[in-house]
Structure formats: structure tokens, C-alpha cells
A = this chain, B = another copy of it.
Amino acid sequence: MTDSTTERDLVLTRLIAAPRAALYRAWTEPELLKRWFAPKPYSVTEAETDLRPGGASRIVMRGPDGSEFPSAGVYLEIVENARIVFTDAYLRAWEPSPKPFFTGIITFEDAEGGTRYTARARHWSAQDRAAHEAMGFHEGWGRCADQLAELAASL
């Protein structure tokens, strides 16, 4: 990892008491993803997970007042039970988005007591990283990780 990359990354990591396969399922099966991907009281109303390089990742979140927040991206790399990479640089294969903001790199590694879960948001610029952090990255992704851990432990 180069310094120039590190200064553009935001990273969340947890030891989760569930096997890698359960975390992978929670990230990739739409009906499971809906149960943890939005920090409550937000919810996920739609989820599409076309798991292949170039496949669409599309999620719609709904706020408590009914506002909807769609997000679109594509998967870049899928390694079952181990690694998921996606980006918002494309709306679908291969239509550039208005602004490439970040690449998500999600890894699941065996660890004592369960799985080492790491969610890395790698931005195109240090400014975008700072903006994402100011938008509440750590709180938002942290609360979702709690919800993910609870769900994965129940699978």
C-alpha cells in the first residue's frame, strides 16, 4: 500500500463472530442486504446485486420521512466468501458516472473467534476522502457493521 493510496482511504475493521460465508451472503443476497445496509431508522427498499465484473450494484435507501436515496455502481471483482470490490465510477457497465467518488473494497478473512471484516472506501482524491469522513463515514458504516454482525451471527 503506497502512502498516496492510504491518504485517500477510509477504513472500518471489525472482528465479527460469524463465518466468512455468512458475511459474504449478507453482502450479496438482496433480501439479506436489505436487513443491515442502511443505518436504522433508514431502510433499504431496493437492492440489486449482479455479482460479476461489470454487474450492477443498485441500492435505494429510504429515510424516516420517506425521502429516497438511490445509489448505483458496478462490481469490479468478486471472490466468493473473501472479497468484493465495487465502484461508483460507473452507473452501469460501462457508463461513466457524473463523478467517480470511491471504490469499495470489502474483505473477509478467517480470524480467531470468527472473521476479520474490513470495509475500505478508497477515494479518487484526499479531498473526497475528507468530505466522506465529514459526511459521517465512521458513524454510518460503523452502525451498519453492527447490524451486519448481528445478522451474520444469526445465519
Q: Is the CB of B105 within 8 A of A124?
A: no
Task: List 8 tightest A-B contacts by C-beta distance, closest first.
Answer: A53-B53, A96-B124, A100-B100, A94-B103, A54-B77, A89-B89, A5-B95, A85-B94
Question: Closest Cβ of chain B: how far from A126's Cβ, in Å?
Answer: 11
**A151 at interface, CB cutoff 8 A:** no
Q: Is the CB of B77 within 8 A of A96?
A: no
Q: Is the CB of A95 within 8 A of B53?
A: no
A85 to B89, CA, bound (A): 15
Which of the residues B5, B76, B96, B103 comes within 8 Å of A103, measured between beta carbons?
B96
List 28 contacting pairs A-B, 8 Å CB cutoff, sorted by A.
A2-B95, A5-B95, A5-B96, A8-B96, A53-B53, A53-B54, A53-B76, A54-B76, A54-B77, A54-B85, A76-B76, A76-B94, A77-B93, A77-B94, A85-B93, A85-B94, A87-B94, A89-B89, A89-B100, A90-B103, A94-B103, A94-B122, A96-B100, A96-B122, A96-B123, A97-B124, A100-B100, A100-B124
A97 to B5, CA, bound (A): 10
Q: Which residue of B lies closest to A95 (CB)?
A: B5
Q: Residues of B contacting A96 with CB < 8 Å?
A: 5, 8, 100, 103, 122-124
Question: Closest Cβ of chain B: how far from A123's Cβ, in Å?
Answer: 7
Q: Is the CB of A94 within 8 A of B89?
A: no
Q: Residues of B contacting A124 with CB < 8 Å?
A: 89, 96-97, 100
